[in-house]
Structure 1
């Protein structure tokens, strides 16, 4: 799928450079960088927006700090589970997150992701660059559902930011029911 740029009505841009094993994702949000960054790093918020609507998410661990790690799982209605994990290499509040990302269904396909949070005066542009091992691995990620998950996740993040103007976490009981610790897995 070595393709160029795809846009979506919500403003999400996804670019796969035909010559490089990269994906560049850019999106603007109607909230300041501090609020958007918190939605990316607070597990109580992450579980509310990350990924496709049709999947339920639970977090095993999410320690969003330099040197921290994460693992979460998306589950389909039929019980199929999709696990993801990685390490946070650099977390600079309201500015930047550098992390690895691994889909457990393809454990040799580790990507390095850098997300930059740009202040647009009350709005935030998040630009994420993912570097994969090969163009084939990049194309497999794109055709495997990444585009849909990113777009729907961005839509859900918009909804969360609008519903929670103060940036406070939604502390619903069902959110916590989906969170498990490593020892419970």
Structure 2
């Protein structure tokens, strides 16, 4: 990979030593905009998850010591399927976010997520994510849930959102 190559598709790896999933992805946007898209509830709801889901923010206090909750909604005709998640923000810094993540249907499986943002120059930012699960079994369940599709599609939507932010200034 050369200095001009960018990871425009997420690289997702299961750590063989610990029950963690590592994600790396580059975004053609300044670091501050990528961080804002992860901490501003209005922006976050516009990109998170697979394309067929919409997101309702139920609680959002993106600062060190704050908490969050959101619900993903899939409309299937007259019926809706919902998936709810919650967690706590442990650290919210310009280049790093540490939070817990819990899927409400698996309340015993709390994940510790760390996102680190690196300015690559020329308007590019690299996101390194590390999701540490409470067990290899929990990690396996998450990987089996087609997590990768949600991550890839969410980041595609984030690319579009960030491009729009560039145009707006």
Q: TM-score, normalised by structure 2?
A: 0.90
Report matched runs for 1:124-139 at 5 Å: 124-139=125-140
Gapped runs of 5+ residues in structure 1? 1-8, 169-185
> Do the aligned residues in 2 keep the contact of 1:35 with 1:167 (CA within 8 Å)?
no
Report matched runs for 1:112-131 at 5 Å: 112-121=112-121, 122-131=123-132
* CA-CA distance at 1:166 after TM superposition: 5.1
- Count residues with an aligned counterpart: 159
* Other-structure match for 2:25: 27
Where 1:54 maps in the other structure, the secondary structure is coil
* Other-structure match for 1:99: 99
> Aligned partners of 1:167 and 1:83: how far apart in 2?
32
* Other-structure match for 1:45: 43
Larger strand percent: 2
> Do the aligned residues in 1 keep the contact of 2:8 with 2:27 (CA within 8 Å)?
no
* CA-CA distance at 1:162 after TM superposition: 1.1
> Aligned partners of 2:74 and 2:16: how far apart in 1?
32
Report matched runs for 1:51-130 at 5 Å: 51-78=49-76, 79-93=80-94, 95-121=95-121, 122-130=123-131
> Do the aligned residues in 2 keep the contact of 1:14 with 1:24 (CA within 8 Å)?
yes
- Runs of at least 4 residues off by over 2 Å: none
* Other-structure match for 2:9: 11
Where 1:120 maps in the other structure, the secondary structure is strand
> Do the aligned residues in 2 keep the contact of 1:56 with 1:75 (CA within 8 Å)?
yes
* Other-structure match for 2:141: 140
> Aligned partners of 1:40 and 1:167: how far apart in 2?
18
> Do the aligned residues in 2 keep the contact of 1:161 with 1:167 (CA within 8 Å)?
no
Gapped runs of 5+ residues in structure 2? 1-6
Q: TM-score, normalised by structure 1?
A: 0.82
Where 1:76 maps in the other structure, the secondary structure is strand
* CA-CA distance at 1:158 after TM superposition: 0.3
